[in-house]
Structure 1
Amino acid sequence: MLTLLAKILKALNSQTSTWQIGWAVALGLFIGILPLGLLTFIILLVVCLFTVNLSIFFVIWGLTKGLMLLFAEPLESLTWQLAQNESLLTLLAQTETLQLLHLHHTLTLGSFILGLCLLLPIAWLSSLLVKQYRVRVMSKIEKLKITQMLKASSFFSLYQKLN
């Protein structure tokens, strides 16, 4: 747990591109709201092909999976309203590729639509927040006495080993 926290802090404080962190957050959220299936593995393939911060990706994935336990039922009932469209229902039921991706299930369809809608705004917002953190917060945190005390602890030595 401390190692993962140290890796996240290292990514936030390093010269890593803010877009790499932003896309890690967005793709972690996207994969976290989807039920386990082929779409999950396709997004994992995308994450492996592109350069994103894996520590942040996995943390966001885990947090979002936990939150989906609370929001799965409302999302499914909202998607049920969308799935009442006869032509959409026919398309989802008769297209083999969409059946393979399980988009004919209301929870998968709703999660996929929500994930697509949130992907770009979350990536942009995360990138912007990381930039703001680096400009405004990081320098002030390093000047605090508690930060200087933490630098003397074993957590900071673990953090330094990762550099």
Structure 2
Amino acid sequence: MRAFPRYLPLHPIRALAAACALAILLSGCQSMGTDGLVASTAPTEISGPAASAIAGDMVSRLAEQIGPGKATIALKPDASPFGQALEAALKGWGYAVVTDQKTDSGTKIIPLAYVIVPFDGQVLARLSTDSVELGRAYTVTSSGATPTSALSLMRRG
């Protein structure tokens, strides 16, 4: 008779890392909803200069992926400083931005959602469209924000 190997429980750090990896993978499967957008969220405690720095960096990276000013961006902003900064950054890169307005049928619309999450003294930022998702960590101060990680890029087929 063959004995089955005894499995050791995962170390708590490895279990946490596995849970985080699973959460990241599953967050990429999130549906964009019936109208193409998920609710965008950002904490209101991020300062205006920090929100502008993060939005400017993320929109410049988005423009590298979808081309600058080549489409109309559909955005459901929240009332946070980041929502306002993101809309301004998109317009600064030449994108037309619609929030609740209807557009004519010939206009190419790219739905865009964002999530800003404070985590362990940093802020994690994510922009999502139907074809690409960008993520990056930032260190935030009252006078701005600086990237603390490489850009994470996921393309959807």
TM-score of Structure 1 vs Structure 2, range by shorter chain: under 0.3
| TM-score (norm. length: structure 2) | 0.25
| TM-score (norm. length: structure 1) | 0.24
Larger proportion of helix: 1
Larger proportion of strand: 2
The one of the two structures with greater contact order (alpha-carbon pairs below 8 A, sep at least 6) is 1
Instruction: Please identify the structure whose Cα radius of gyration is greater.
Output: 1
